[in-house]
Amino acid sequence: MTGKDSATHVDAIAVPIATPGVTGPCHDGPDAGRTAPADPADAPLAPAVTPYPDPHLEAATEPTGTASADATPVDTTPADTASADTTPAGAEPARATAGPGPTGARLGTLLAVLGVATFSLTFPATAWALKGLGPWSTMAIRSVLAALVAGGCLLAVRAPFPARRHWPGLAVVVGGIVIGFPLFTTLALETSSTAHAAVVVGLLPLTTAAFGAVRTGARPSRVFWIAAVVGAAVVITFALQQSGGEPTSADLFLFAALLVCAAGYTEGATLTRELPGWQVIGWALVCCLPLTLPATAIALAMEPVNLTAQVVAGMVWVSMGSQFVGMYVWYRGMAAIGVAKASQLQLAQPLLTLVWSVLLLGEHLTLAAPLAAVGVLVCIGVTQRARS
């Protein structure tokens, strides 16, 4: 996000320019006391409204044909001069809303793919970090390091402080994405394999869609809910089969992570209507520092620390990559190509995590893991079609 992008968060105010011929009383000559005719070209400009502050998000989400009614001044130029450029100095010209061109679409797809690849490495990197750090230390350090990076980026672009109406939503993002999901998945990975966790958390897009339907009051079709229930049944069956018929503490942590993360994603998506996506996660990380800084100090004092190159690499990845950079490229890619296409790319994330668990951690997969992952992917694919 550049400084130019961040500048669009301030509502533009068009100031009328004093020019000859404006409406007003005549003071000299035979027409004294009468009002001079108004020149339509000199009429004051209407305030320019920016309903979607992030230009990338605006291009991806604003319906075609509505931008001119909301975001551009009313054209009062006479017919013979309608083609003239009446954009006031310093104002941005109206942006086309027909969607990104081929180059923009390719770039958006690449960014979304990078985001999915980054997220798919989260569980293996967390497993590396847990070899030398405790779960509470891992979660706290992860949030603090990501907050430092996010804070630097927010300062660099001089991002405006979120309005008071944004803070309830940011609190949900903090509880779900900054604290809840990292903590619950880290606790689960102490006793669970990354492959097992990947299959269970592979239900996240489905859970998020269900939360979104409840949050927005939408009414998805019956096919959507059938696929959602079948997907949940597949994951629960897999978890019970792997644990001998009874859910383990790791399974409970993973299901809790699903719920809080889905709530955080849903509320974050609502906030992106007014804030750029990367600033949503950035401000959530920064405002959580009063909690995560003392938590880091306490956790490091109470839990064992054994730093190795592998532990440091895992810690750097989950904090810089998964927690912030991955979110940044994911939101930018999603804004460029749309939520529907980006969601289709995210379907590959559980399978990628299974591959990383074998290559990086040497885990041995049972046949149930890839079968359950594919079953969840099919259910999510059905819900995507049902929602559209």
Note the pLDDT of residue 144: 94
Where does 150-224 show beta strands of DSSP type E? none
Distance between CA atoms of residues 37 and 33, nearest Å: 13
Residue 111 in any domain: the answer is no
Residue 104 in any domain: the answer is no
pLDDT in tens, 100-132: 566 777 888 888 889 888 989 999 999 999 999
105: enclosing H helix or E strand:
helix 102-120
Query: Are residues 81 and 41 in contact, defined by beta-carbon separation less than 8 angstroms?
Result: yes
- Asked whether residue 14 carries a pLDDT value surpassing 50, the answer given is no
Note the pLDDT of residue 67: 39
Query: Which residue bears the tokens 């064992």?
Result: 304
Query: Are residues 208 and 202 in contact, defined by beta-carbon separation less than 8 angstroms?
Result: no
DSSP state of 25: B
Among 81, 12, 2, 8, CA closest to 41: 81
Note the pLDDT of residue 248: 85
Domain that holds residue 299: 122-387
3-state SS of 246-289 is CCCHHHHHHHHHHHHHHHHHHHHHHHCCCCCHHHHHHHHHHHCH
Among 381, 362, 380, 372, CA closest to 124: 362
Note the pLDDT of residue 221: 79
Residue 83 in any domain: the answer is no
Helices 339-346 & 102-120, crossing angle to 10 degrees?
40
Note the pLDDT of residue 126: 94
Judge if pTM exceeds 0.85: no
Distance between CA atoms of residues 384 and 388, nearest Å: 6
Residue 312 in any domain: the answer is yes
Please list the alpha-helical segments (H only) found in 288-348: 289-302, 309-316, 326-337, 339-346
384: enclosing H helix or E strand:
helix 368-387
Residue 272 in any domain: the answer is yes
pLDDT in tens, 35-49: 444 444 444 444 433
Distance between CA atoms of residues 380 and 158, nearest Å: 39
Note the pLDDT of residue 165: 92
Distance between CA atoms of residues 101 and 34, nearest Å: 54
DSSP state of 193: -
Question: Buried b vs exposed e over 42-63: b needs ≥16 C-beta within 10 Å?
Answer: eeebeebebebbbbbbbbbbbe
pLDDT in tens, 198-252: 888 877 877 877 787 777 777 777 887 788 788 878 888 887 777 777 778 898 9
Residue 311 in any domain: the answer is yes
Among 52, 41, 50, CA closest to 12: 50
End-to-end CA distance of the chain: 30
- Type of residue at 19: T
Structural domains in the chain (count): 1
Distance set, CA 239 to CA 20, 42, 122, 276, 372 (Å) = 78, 70, 20, 37, 10
More confident call, 97 vs 301? 301
192: enclosing H helix or E strand:
none
